[in-house]
């Protein structure tokens, strides 16, 4: 017997002799089964692989994580990182320039890096060394010091008492020499100078220069400009003084100045709390709060005209200066300006019109 397949699911059986019936039945069953298998194979997709339906997948573990949230005491304008393990100290770090001639900025940046980019509590720079005190994650102070090309850990008596923290690289430290020279001209000695960055008053971090032995302290704003002493007779000084004690508020109970006490204001902070701000001589504005109430009605300090004040002062000043205070103690529509000049008292409105006769 010979069996052949010619591309057709039907078999042609060529037999010379008659095939037994039982064998024919088995062959027909085989042909039927083969045809079913060929039909199934012909319906399968190319490549022989059954497509898998898409499944919902969780984000890859390599996807970027959300930006870390920041704790409230830390500066909000940039993100800190988790501090890396502190390298074995001391380490060598040479700088090409002297500290006060450009080297300080490089050293401070390196100290900040070694701290794990932690926010700072205090920074000290002299001609010979730099000390950076940072706030660690456990809210303790940790100090790093550079001297003679070596960075090491340092002892510190600084404690974290919820004072304002800052980024040490935000300050103009590329030319400390100029800051020291200006300080010497403004009243400090030129020997033993130390530049310090630390909280001066609640919420305010400033630079200052002191000397050893101690002399007058010179204060600088974060941009490097100096706080100069303000007079009480020129338009420019009066405008700057009022702005220093009334900045950021539209309600003050009283506003005033005198040569001996500088500029001052009192303003409501909340129910039963009054804040007093003072700008004395070449010192930055200092503020303090007390529990109290005031019988005075607050007014907008922008209503005060420095030019009108200057003109009135010049008409009454006999050379000893005038003490000026502005409030609404007389219960008028607008506050009244009271001048004490050489033992005499005068009054005017905010435009400089004389009210002395009316209010005696």
Distance CA 13, CA 279 (A): 118
Residue 163 forms part of a structural domain: yes
Distance CA 125, CA 132 (A): 9
Looking at residue 202, its pLDDT comes to 85
Q: Which pLDDT tens digit goes with each residue over 84-94?
A: 545 689 999 99
Give the DSSP H/E element, type plus range, for residue 208: strand 204-211
For the four alpha carbons of 283, 223, 187 and 324, in that order, the dihedral sign comes to negative
Q: What are phi and psi of 303, to 5 degrees?
A: -75, -15
The answer to whether residues 264 and 145 belong to one domain is no
The stretches in the chain having pLDDT less than 70 are 1-87, 188
Residue 334 forms part of a structural domain: yes
Give the DSSP H/E element, type plus range, for residue 146: strand 141-147
The answer to whether residues 241 and 331 belong to one domain is yes
Domain end call among 188, 220, 252: 220
Residue 60 forms part of a structural domain: no
Residue 80 forms part of a structural domain: no
Distance CA 327, CA 145 (A): 51
3-class DSSP state for residue 358? helix
Q: What angle do CA 300, 303, 307 make, to 5 degrees?
A: 145
Task: Report helix, strand and coil shares of the chain as percent, to nearest 5.
Answer: 20, 30, 50
3-class DSSP state for residue 150? strand
Distance CA 11, CA 174 (A): 97
Residue 84 forms part of a structural domain: no
Give the DSSP H/E element, type plus range, for residue 326: strand 322-327
134-138-139-145 Cα dihedral, nearest 10 degrees: -20
Provide the total of helices (H) and of strands (E) in the chain, helices listed first: 6, 17
Looking at residue 215, its pLDDT comes to 72
Domain end call among 162, 194, 220: 220
The answer to whether residues 195 and 145 belong to one domain is yes
Q: What are phi and psi of 301, to 5 degrees?
A: -65, -20
Q: What does pLDDT average to over the chain?
A: 82
Helix segments in 57-119, DSSP class H: 103-114
Residue 204 forms part of a structural domain: yes
The answer to whether residues 241 and 305 belong to one domain is yes
Q: Which pLDDT tens digit goes with each residue over 88-137?
A: 899 999 999 999 999 999 999 999 999 999 999 999 999 999 999 999 99
Strand partners, 266: 254, 276
The answer to whether residues 267 and 206 belong to one domain is no
Distance CA 131, CA 124 (A): 5
Instruction: Tell me which residue range forms the domain holding 286.
Output: 235-359
Distance CA 156, CA 162 (A): 17
For the four alpha carbons of 41, 42, 43 and 46, in that order, the dihedral sign comes to positive
The answer to whether residues 95 and 205 belong to one domain is yes
The answer to whether residues 19 and 139 belong to one domain is no
Q: How many separate domains does the chain show? A: 3
Report whether 296 contacts 253 (CB < 8 A).
yes
The answer to whether residues 208 and 239 belong to one domain is no
The answer to whether residues 195 and 248 belong to one domain is no
Please tell me the pTM assigned to this model.
0.70
Looking at residue 188, its pLDDT comes to 65
3-class DSSP state for residue 66? coil
The answer to whether residues 157 and 203 belong to one domain is yes
Q: What angle do CA 188, 191, 192 make, to 5 degrees?
A: 95
Distance CA 318, CA 333 (A): 31
Nearest to 166 by CA among 188, 140, 196, 199: 199
Residue 184 forms part of a structural domain: yes
The answer to whether residues 143 and 258 belong to one domain is no
Rg of the chain over CA atoms, in angstroms? Answer: 42
Residue 318 forms part of a structural domain: yes
The answer to whether residues 207 and 249 belong to one domain is no
């Amino acid at each position: 017997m010979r069996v052949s397949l010619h591309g057709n699911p039907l078999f042609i059986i060529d037999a010379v002799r008659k095939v037994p019936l039982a064998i024919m039945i088995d062959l027909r069953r085989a042909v039927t089964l083969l045809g079913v298998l060929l039909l199934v194979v012909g319906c399968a997709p190319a490549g022989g692989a059954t497509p898998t339906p898409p499944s919902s997948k969780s984000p890859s573990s390599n996807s970027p994580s959300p930006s870390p949230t920041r704790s409230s005491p830390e500066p909000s304008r940039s993100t800190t990182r988790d501090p890396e393990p502190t390298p074995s100290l001391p380490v060598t770090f040479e700088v090409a320039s002297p500290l006060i001639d450009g080297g300080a900025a490089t050293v401070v940046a390196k100290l900040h890096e070694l701290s794990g980019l932690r926010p700072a509590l205090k920074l000290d720079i002299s001609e010979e060394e730099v000390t950076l005190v940072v706030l660690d994650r456990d809210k303790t102070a940790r100090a790093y010091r550079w001297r003679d090309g070596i960075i090491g850990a340092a002892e510190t008596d600084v404690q974290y008492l919820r004072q304002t923290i800052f980024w040490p690289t935000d300050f103009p430290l590329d030319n400390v020499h100029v800051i020291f020279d200006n300080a010497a001209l403004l009243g400090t000695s030129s020997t033993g100078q130390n530049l310090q960055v630390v909280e001066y008053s609640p919420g305010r971090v400033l630079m200052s220069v002191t000397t050893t032995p101690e002399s007058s302290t010179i204060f600088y704003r974060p941009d490097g400009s100096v706080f100069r002493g303000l007079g009480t007779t020129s338009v420019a000084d009066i405008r700057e003084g009022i702005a220093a004690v009334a900045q950021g508020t539209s309600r003050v109970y009283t506003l005033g100045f005198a040569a001996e006490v500088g500029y001052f204001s009192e303003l409501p902070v909340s129910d039963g709390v009054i804040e007093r701000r003072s700008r004395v001589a070449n010192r930055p504005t200092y503020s303090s709060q007390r529990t109290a109430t005031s019988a005075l009605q607050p007014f907008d300090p922008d209503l005060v005209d420095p030019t009108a004040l200057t003109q009135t002062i010049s008409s009454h000043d006999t050379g000893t200066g005038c003490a000026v205070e502005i409030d609404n103690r007389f219960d008028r529509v607008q506050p009244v300006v009271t001048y004490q000049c050489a033992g005499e008292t005068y009054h005017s409105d905010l435009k400089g019109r004389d009210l002395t006769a009316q209010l005696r």
